Each structure stands twice: as structure tokens, then as C-alpha cells.
């Protein structure tokens, strides 16, 4: 897709969009199901006050509530998928808003269940598990509830907290609507005055552009657009943090950090261990910035140079080529994994591929039991987009294997585990590309040579040849390109996300102390944290770097969400290395991890797969992977 012009949603060919019609054929069918669900909610009152009657009644409740949740999940998914691809579409926005209200009402209708289960007593519940076969699968579900029991409130309070859910999503929704639908960025420009449209779907590609003027103006104009609304966005984020603090106190946790980790069954020392290890390894990042500065030949490295291409031979990777490389990279996992993944990307329209106006920023995988695992992204025909596709495919295949194996109650497994599967895919695909760099580079040279020969016979193919020139490269050039992509991913997961996690901890602690959260204080705080990460090697524009928090309209509204990206990439590389080293049963253990879903506590599932995140070792090991990329890059650039 061209960088200069981003098309409206209705100009995107159907085959490049995800198959939302597989959930509901149209809005009318969605609306009919929405109305049916609303009518069924009052029926759950028959269970209220009666879960303690006997095991059979409890089994009936679980069956009825799961059937309702399955249907509601599809209603929610359809609306969110319609909305995220075109946030300016008012009809889709209305569907999405109605769904938020539905989920809040559904939560309120079922809010009595956990207090009643706790009141029954866990010894009695365990006896019921043995006596009633339909309850057997809920053993771990009740074990999780037992861990959280001290923080579950009365039925009336739980109902009230559920009713507040819709209103509490307003801050995040407002932030997202502003930045995805209403925010307008000035175009980037090169030295000749040619313009490049800056949107949520193109900013990633523009940050990797070979022209420094394009990178600079894209970075500046994207940041400036957010700075223009810094007070409004800051008010949204402050509201989100205060809502976290309210929930912490309502559930009687000691802090926002404790609430986030304990409610997800993660030991509290995982977070400080990660931050301590991250800060200890910042010299690796400082060395990388220095290598970049020398390779680019600039007097001072700026933030907009952190993803600048280090060779002139920038590979063009069309979507079809990305599918082939990803499938080749994932072959160690076996034929089923590869065939399912290929069908999803090529035939079943899992992927909403290309940028369009109003499309939500970033990329993600989504899906619920009974649907395909869909992927949203903005593919830009480069290695970075290929890697993003591999990443999101990891999420989707995690959903596929979990939903194939687990009941609804264990279909959710949380970001702590999810980011392992996504980064695992990237690790395997990079390994394949680096091991085959010579073969891939020679193929590209033959392709260009064949096009030149064909041009002698057909001069009108000159434009095709021009588009293929970027494919001609040496093995070293291709290896540099792959390492650049790897460093870009590490930059997000092992630099940006830990820095945002430190920022998130501080703003929550300030809110807990009753201190104000303003746009300027948050800009200054984040700028200070990034300055530590960049060191003396990078010249920072404090305002434009400090506003980075405003560019995360989802992540910072999920209480201590971002640190899990760093733990995820750590576990992923440990698991991938086990397979690449040929350790016995490593593949079977990994596929078992994908199939486990949320059927056990997160750290236990990872331990069975072969990694222990209760120690700093996986994080240290992955920083070792990062350091080896930096070493190899220095060698290649030296040559």
C-alpha cells in the first residue's frame, strides 16, 4: 500500500479484510441477538440465593451462565471488530457502545455468584466437585476464587462494581476515539517537499523510512498532534488511574500494583525483579545507540533515528511472502500448526491487513470461543510488518489451540501468558531468516536479474523492475535487516514497555497519595525515565518524547498491563531456545502450553513448558539474546 495516501475503509478490497460476517451476517442479525440477550438476563434471578441449595443447582448455573457468556462474547466481538477498523464510523461506534452497556449489565446480573460460592465454603465445594460430574472441570476455577476470596465483596457491592463497568470505560474510550478518529497529523515531508500521510496505520512505516527528513517530520507531527490535546488526554488517563485506585480500595488491596499482580495470580516480586534487571542492562541499549549513530553517520542520534534503516537495501516483503517465511519458520512445531496458520492467513480471512483512514492504532489478535482468531494490523510491505504478523499469529494460534482443548471457563489466559506465544513466533521466524539469509538474498538477486532480462523484451515492465530493485541485496544486508527488525521489537518490549511500567507505577503511587496528575507532570516524568534509557547517546526532545504516554490509548488503562510484555518476551525466548536446541519433548511441551489456556496458574503452566519466571534468569537470558544481536550488528556494520 502506498505511504502517501491512506484510503477510506470502503476502498479496501474485501479479501484484505477480516471475516466479520462469519460471526453475524449483518447488523440486523447482531441486533436481534443483542435484544435476545437483554431479554434473557432477568432469568438469572432464579439462581440468586440458591447456589447453596445443592451441587446440581450449581452445575445448572454454570451451564446457563457459560451459554450466555458465549453468545455475549460473539455480540461483543462483532461490534468491536466493526468499530476498530473505522473508529469514525458512527454506526459501528454505536454498536460498540451498546455492547459495553450489555457487558456491564451481564456482569451485574451474575455478580451474586462469587459471594455465594464463597459463602458455601470451599470444603463443601470440593465435596460437590467429587459428587457431581458436571462440576469436575471447575476445580481450578474454584482454586482461583479461593485465592481471591478476601477481595470479593458482598453480592450488592459486586453488583454495583459491575454496573460501574460501562461508565469506567469512558476515559479509555474517549482517549481512543480522540486519537484514532479525531486526531489529525500534519503530513511528513522529504527534502523535495513530497508529502506522506501520517496516521495510526502509517506512523510505524514512516519511522523506518530511509529519508531522515521523513522520519523527523513524521515523529514530530505525530507527537505534536498528541501534544495539542495533552490536557484532554491527561484528564482521561488521570481518570483511568483514579478508577484503578478506587477499585483497589473497594476490593481491599494495599496498592494498585498488588491488585494487578495478585488478582492475576502473579507473585509480587516479579515486577520489581523485572525493573531491576531492566535497569541493570541499560548499558546494552546505550551501546546499541552508539552503534546506530556511527552506522548512520550523524553527528547526534535523535529519537527519530532509532529505527532508521542501516543499509540502503531495504527488503520489500509483500504479504504473500510474509506468509511463506512465517510458515517456514514455524515448521518445527509440526504440520498441524503450519497448515492451520496458513489457512487462517490466506483462505479464512483471519487478518485485516492494510491501513485505512480511522483504523485503530497498532495490531492485535481477537476472538472468542466459537469464532476464528482474528488479527488486526496495518501491513506495510516490510520486515517489520512481517514480524508483526508473526507476532499476532502467535496470539491467534494460542487461541486456536486453547479453544480446541479447553472449556469456556479456561478460554481466557491473560496477557502474562499471551505475550509468550506471540514473541515465540517472532523468535522462531527470525532464527529461520538468519540461518537462510544467503539463500534468501541469492533468490532476490535472481528475481531482479530475471526482471531485467524480461524488460528487454517488454519495456513497459520498467515500473515492475523499479519496485523489485529493493529486493536485491547481499546476505549481510538481509541479515542486518532482520536484526534491525529484531531490535525494533526488543525496543518496544524491552525498552518502551519497561519504561512505561515504571511510569505506570509512579503515577499510580502519586494517585494513591492524593497527588495531582497533570499533562506536564506526566510529560516530565516520562521524559526523565526515557532519558535514563537513552543515556548520553541520544539527543531527546523532552516534550515530544515525554508525550509518548498519550500514544497508548489502551495499554495504560489496564492496571499494570505493560510490564507483562517484557516478561512475555523473556519466557518466549527461553521456550524458543529449548526447541531450537533440540531439547527432548520441547515441542510437545510448547504445544501443551498453547493448549493449556487458563486451566492452571500462569507460572505453573510456564514451568511445565520449561521456564520459571519466579527468578530473574529468563529476563537476564533474554537480555543476553539482545546483547548478541548488538554484537552481530556491530560485526556486520564493521564489515
**Which residues does the annotation mark as catalytic?**
392
Centroid of chain to Cα 47: 37
Among positive and negative, which fits the CA dihedral 342, 399, 594, 426? Answer: positive
Cell match 495470580: residue? 265
Residue 233: closest CA among 563, 561, 547: 547
The CA–CA distances, whole Å, from 92 to 82, 328, 516 equal: 6, 38, 35
Q: Give the Å distances, CA to CA, from 261 to 81, 111, 307, 375, 599.
A: 29, 22, 33, 27, 18
φ and ψ of 188, to 5 deg: -75, 160
The total of other beta-carbon atoms located within 10 Å of residue 635's CB is: 11
Task: Write the DSSP assignment of 341-370 as a string of letters.
Answer: HHHHHHTS--EE-S--TTPPSS-EEE--TT
- Asked if 33 and 71 count as a contact pair (C-beta separation under 8 A), the reply is yes
Q: How far apart are CA 604 and CA 594, in angstroms?
A: 13
Contacts 24+ apart (CB under 8 A), 529-534: 529/499, 529/502, 529/503, 530/499, 532/279, 532/282, 533/282, 533/285, 533/495, 533/499, 534/285, 534/286, 534/289, 534/303
Q: Are 289 and 200 in contact (CB under 8 A)?
A: no
Which residue in 225, 153, 299, 274 sits closest to 550, CA to CA? 225
CA dihedral for 78, 81, 82, 87, sign (positive or negative): positive
Amino acid at each position: 500500500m502506498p505511504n502517501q495516501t491512506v484510503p477510506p475503509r470502503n476502498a479496501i478490497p474485501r479479501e484484505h479484510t477480516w471475516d466479520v460476517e462469519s460471526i453475524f451476517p449483518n447488523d440486523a442479525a447482531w441486533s436481534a441477538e443483542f435484544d435476545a440477550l437483554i431479554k434473557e438476563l432477568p432469568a438469572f434471578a432464579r439462581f440468586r440465593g440458591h447456589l447453596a441449595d445443592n451441587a446440581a443447582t450449581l452445575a445448572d448455573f454454570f451451564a446457563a451462565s457459560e451459554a450466555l457468556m458465549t453468545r455475549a462474547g460473539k455480540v461483543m466481538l462483532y461490534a468491536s471488530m466493526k468499530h476498530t477498523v473505522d473508529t469514525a464510523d458512527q454506526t459501528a461506534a454505536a454498536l460498540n457502545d451498546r455492547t459495553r452497556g450489555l457487558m456491564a449489565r451481564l456482569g451485574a446480573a451474575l455478580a451474586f455468584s462469587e459471594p455465594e460460592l464463597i459463602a458455601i465454603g470451599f470444603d463443601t465445594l470440593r465435596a460437590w466437585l467429587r459428587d457431581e460430574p458436571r462440576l469436575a472441570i471447575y476445580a481450578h476455577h474454584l482454586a482461583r476464587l479461593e485465592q481471591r476470596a478476601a477481595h470479593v465483596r458482598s453480592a450488592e457491592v459486586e453488583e454495583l462494581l459491575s454496573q460501574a463497568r460501562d461508565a469506567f470505560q469512558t476515559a479509555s474510550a474517549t482517549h481512543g476515539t480522540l486519537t484514532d478518529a479525531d486526531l489529525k497529523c500534519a503530513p511528513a515531508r522529504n527534502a523535495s517537499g513530497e508529502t506522506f500521510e501520517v496516521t495510526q496505520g502509517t506512523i510505524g512505516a514512516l519511522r523506518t523510512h530511509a529519508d531522515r527528513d521523513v522520519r523527523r517530520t513524521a515523529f514530530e507531527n505525530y507527537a505534536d498532534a498528541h501534544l495539542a490535546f495533552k490536557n484532554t488526554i491527561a484528564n482521561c488517563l488521570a481518570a483511568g488511574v483514579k478508577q484503578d485506585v478506587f477499585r483497589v480500595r473497594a476490593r481491599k488491596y494495599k496498592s494498585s500494583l498488588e491488585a494487578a499482580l495478585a488478582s492475576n495470580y502473579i507473585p509480587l516480586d516479579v515486577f520489581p525483579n523485572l525493573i531491576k534487571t531492566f535497569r541493570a542492562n541499560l548499558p546494552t541499549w546505550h551501546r546499541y545507540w552508539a552503534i546506530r549513530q556511527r552506522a548512520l553517520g550523524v553527528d547526534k542520534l535523535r529519537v527519530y533515528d532509532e529505527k532508521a534503516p542501516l543499509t540502503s537495501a531495504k527488503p520489500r516483503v509483500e504479504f504473500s511472502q510474509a506468509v511463506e517465511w512465517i510458515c517456514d519458520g514455524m515448521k518445527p512445531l509440526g504440520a498441524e500448526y503450519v497448515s492451520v496458520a496458513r489457512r487462517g492467513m490466506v483462505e479464512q480471512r483471519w487478518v485485516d491487513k492494510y491501513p485505512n483512514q480511522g483504523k485503530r492504532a497498532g495490531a492485535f489478535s481477537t476472538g472468542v470461543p466459537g469464532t476464528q482468531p482474528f488479527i488486526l494490523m496495518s501491513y506495510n510491505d516490510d520486515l517489520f510488518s512481517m514480524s508483526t504478523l508473526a507476532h499476532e499469529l502467535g496470539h491467534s494460534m494460542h487461541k486456536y489451540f486453547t479453544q480446541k482443548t479447553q472449556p469456556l471457563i479456561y478460554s481466557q489466559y491473560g496477557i502474562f501468558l499471551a505475550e509468550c506465544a506471540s514473541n515465540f513466533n517472532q523468535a522462531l521466524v527470525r532464527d529461520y531468516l538468519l540461518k537462510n539469509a544467503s539463500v534468501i538474498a541469492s533468490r532476490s538477486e535472481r528475481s531482479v536479474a530475471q526482471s531485467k532480462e524480461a524488460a528487454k523484451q517488454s519495456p513497459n515492465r520498467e515500473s515492475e523492475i523499479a519496485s523489485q530493485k529493493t529486493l536485491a541485496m547481499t546476505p549481510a544486508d538481509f541479515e542486518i535487516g532482520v536484526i534491525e527488525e529484531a531490535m525494533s521489537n526488543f525496543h518496544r518490549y524491552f525498552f518502551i514497555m519497561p519504561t512505561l511500567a515504571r511510569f505506570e507505577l509512579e503515577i499510580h503511587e502519586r494517585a494513591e497519595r492524593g497527588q495531582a496528575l497533570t499533562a506536564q507532570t506526566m510529560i516530565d516524568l516520562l521524559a526523565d525515565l526515557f532519558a535514563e534509557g537513552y543515556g548520553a547517546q541520544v539527543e531527546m526532545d523532552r516534550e515530544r518524547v515525554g508525550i509518548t504516554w498519550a500514544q497508548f490509548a489502551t495499554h495504560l488503562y489496564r492496571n499494570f498491563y505493560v510490564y507483562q510484555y517484557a516478561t512475555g518476551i523473556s519466557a518466549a525466548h527461553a521456550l524458543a531456545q529449548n526447541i531450537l536446541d533440540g531439547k527432548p519433548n520441547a515441542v510437545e511441551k510448547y504445544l501443551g502450553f498453547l493448549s493449556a489456556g487458563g486451566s492452571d496458574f500462569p507460572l505453573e503452566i510456564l514451568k511445565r513448558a520449561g521456564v520459571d519466571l519466579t527468578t530473574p534468569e529468563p529476563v537476564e537470558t533474554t537480555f543476553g539474546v539482545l546483547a548478541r544481536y548488538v554484537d552481530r550488528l556491530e560485526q556486520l556494520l564493521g564489515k
